[in-house]
């Protein structure tokens, strides 16, 4: 039995049903694709009413598709806080622009402000007329929050490092600066932008840069943190002192570098030097004090013996100084000491060491000076002291001093031996009537001799 062929009408109906099935299948595939694309995909008509929304949009709006289609954004986002969103849609729907930009909208159901990167372009019919728009938006809310957090942290860090009283910098293993704070830029007299990318030799004299670079190389090689005091001439020509902490560091790619933090201690350094000077100087006259004198004298004694050079010592005592204090007062006594020191300094050279070793007692150490030359110098100071009065209210004050002179000899094993001989010479000058220069030789030398004004 032969089956009858289907009618032409049946064939057409079958073909039509097949196309419908295929269209439905294709529509489902596209919807599945748009649901899984990982972005918000939607279309609207010319009035901004939704004509399509994928699953992510529906989840965001909190409504099924049938409750979304035909409604505009005001039903879901409201009017407040979404003016910029409406303006973007207007430019696409009315002006035909294609826009890619960051957008934010306020979700009515949650009250949350979300941020997106959206691309919107007009939909056109076959004649080119705009009939709606298609939008694809990626939620960047968390990314935006993280960026804002990092930006705020960077602003806070920049504010901190730019206002801290220290030079902060980063330098790579090729001597090139990778970072510098504002304080460092001020020190070098340029901008931060000019420092970054520059070599250390571009910012400071070659010998200074080389000194720092030698230190940097040791830190990079050892991998150890280093702290030290450093000095640098700033843009104004002033020598400044820093306490620097330098740390080896490796970048994300392993590139070696150093991070330096240098705190300005110029004032502290000056105070330290002043305290050191005060510890070694007489506060009234400014010359060396007893402690400083003995430290230097011991060193010079050892050097002179080693080199076989001459060394002489003068000990001095201002005559009748107690009478001056008692009759004219201690302020006048202080002035006498200062005037006497000034007269001594007029007669001395830079290598001579003048020190106040007691109330009215002084010593002069004379390196590379023999006994006779020292005697002549002492006598010259004695004569000048006597000849030049000190002007005081309504009178001239004349003072005198006694001097003892001794020189180094081969038998002296300690400085105290030389000092004792000079002190004995001074005692002899005072015993002989003061205002004298007495010279005392060692037992291997001739006996004592003296000269009087």
The CATH fold of domain 164-269: Beta-Lactamase (3.30.450)
Q: What number of CA atoms fall less than 13 Å from residue 152's CA on the CB side?
A: 5
Give the pair of three-digit tokens for residue 3.
């089956």
**pTM of the entire structure?**
0.52
What is the rounded distance in angstroms from the CA atom of residue 260 to the CA atom of residue 181? 11
Helix (H, G, I), strand (E, B) or coil at 446: coil
**What does the domain layout of the chain look like in residue ranges?**
29-140, 164-269, 283-452
Per-residue pLDDT tens for 3-60? Answer: 344 444 444 333 344 444 444 445 677 778 888 888 999 999 999 999 999 999 998 8
Q: Which of 440, 408, 414 is nearest to 427 (CA)?
A: 440
φ, ψ dihedrals at 313, nearest 5°: -135, 135
What is the rounded distance in angstroms from the CA atom of residue 361 to the CA atom of residue 102? 87
What is the rounded distance in angstroms from the CA atom of residue 336 to the CA atom of residue 276? 26
| pLDDT by 10s per residue, the chain, length 453 | 333 444 444 443 333 444 444 444 456 777 788 888 889 999 999 999 999 999 999 988 889 999 999 998 888 876 665 777 888 899 999 999 999 999 887 776 677 788 899 999 999 999 999 999 999 999 998 988 898 888 888 888 777 777 788 899 999 999 999 999 999 999 999 999 999 999 999 999 999 999 999 999 999 999 999 999 999 898 889 999 999 999 999 887 888 999 999 999 999 988 888 888 888 899 899 999 999 999 999 999 999 999 999 999 999 999 999 999 998 899 999 999 999 999 999 999 999 999 999 999 999 999 999 999 999 999 999 999 999 998 877 778 999 999 999 999 988 999 999 999 999 999 999 999 999 999 998 765 554 444 443
Neighbouring-strand partners of residue 121 = 134
For residues 187, 189, 191 and 193, what is the CA-based torsion angle, rounded to 10 degrees?
-80
Pairing of strands 256-264, 166-172: antiparallel
DSSP for 128-150, please give it. Answer: S-EEEEEEEEEE-HHHHHHHHHH
Q: Measure Cα distances from 70 to 66, 82, 83, 135 in Å.
A: 9, 19, 20, 16
What CATH number belongs to 283-452?
A: 3.30.70.270
Four-residue CA torsion sign, 330, 334, 337, 339: negative
The CATH number of domain 29-140 is 3.30.450.20: yes
Examine domains 164-269 and 283-452 and report if their fold is the same: no
Q: Determine contact, residues 158/173, Cβ cutoff 8 Å.
A: no
Determine what percent of the chain falls in helix, strand and coil, rounding each to the nearest 5.
45, 25, 30
DSSP for 363-391, please give it. Answer: EEEEET--HHHHHHHHHHHHHHHHHSPEE
């Amino acid at each position: 039995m032969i089956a009858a062929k289907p009618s032409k009408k049946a064939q057409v109906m079958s073909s039509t049903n097949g196309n419908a099935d295929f269209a439905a299948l294709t529509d489902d595939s596209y919807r599945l694709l748009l649901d899984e694309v990982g972005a918000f995909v939607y279309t609207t008509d010319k009035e901004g009413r939704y004509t399509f929304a994928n699953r992510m949009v529906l989840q965001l709006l909190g409504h099924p598709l049938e409750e979304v289609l035909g409604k505009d954004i005001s039903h879901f986002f409201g009017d407040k806080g979404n003016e910029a969103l409406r303006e973007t849609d207007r430019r696409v729907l009315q002006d035909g622009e294609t826009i890619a930009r960051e957008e934010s909208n306020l979700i009515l159901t949650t009250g949350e402000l979300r941020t997106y990167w959206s691309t919107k372009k007009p939909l056109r019919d076959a004649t080119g007329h705009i009939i709606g728009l298609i939008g694809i938006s990626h939620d960047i809310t968390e990314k935006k929050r993280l960026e804002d957090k990092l930006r705020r942290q960077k602003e806070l860090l920049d504010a901190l490092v730019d206002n801290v009283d220290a030079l902060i910098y980063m330098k790579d293993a090729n001597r090139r600066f990778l970072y510098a704070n504002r304080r460092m830029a001020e020190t070098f007299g340029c901008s931060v932008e000019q420092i970054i990318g520059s070599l250390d030799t571009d910012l400071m004299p070659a010998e200074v840069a080389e000194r720092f670079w030698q230190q940097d190389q040791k830190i990079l090689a050892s991998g150890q943190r280093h702290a030290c005091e450093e000095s640098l001439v700033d843009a104004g020509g002033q020598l400044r002192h820093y306490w620097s902490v330098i740390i080896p560091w490796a970048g994300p790619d392993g590139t070696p570098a150093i991070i330096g933090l240098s705190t300005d201690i110029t004032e502290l350094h000056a105070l330290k030097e002043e305290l050191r000077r005060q510890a070694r100087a007489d506060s009234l006259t400014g010359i060396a004090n007893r402690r400083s004198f003995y430290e230097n004298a011991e060193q010079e004694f050892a050097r002179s013996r080693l080199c076989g050079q001459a060394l002489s010592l003068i000990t001095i005592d201002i005559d009748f100084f107690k009478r001056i204090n008692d009759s004219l007062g201690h302020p006048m006594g202080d002035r006498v000491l200062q005037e006497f020191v000034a007269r001594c300094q007029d007669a001395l050279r830079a290598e001579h060491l003048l020190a106040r070793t007691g109330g009215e007692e002084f010593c002069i150490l004379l390196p590379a000076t023999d006994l006779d030359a020292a005697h002549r110098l002492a006598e010259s100071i004695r004569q000048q002291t006597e000849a030049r009065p000190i002007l005081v209210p309504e009178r001239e004050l004349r003072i005198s001093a006694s001097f003892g002179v001794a020189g180094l000899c081969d038998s002296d094993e300690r400085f105290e031996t030389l000092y004792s001989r000079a002190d004995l010479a001074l005692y002899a000058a005072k015993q002989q009537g003061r205002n004298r220069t007495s010279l005392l030789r060692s037992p291997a030398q001739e006996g004592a001799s003296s000269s009087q004004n």
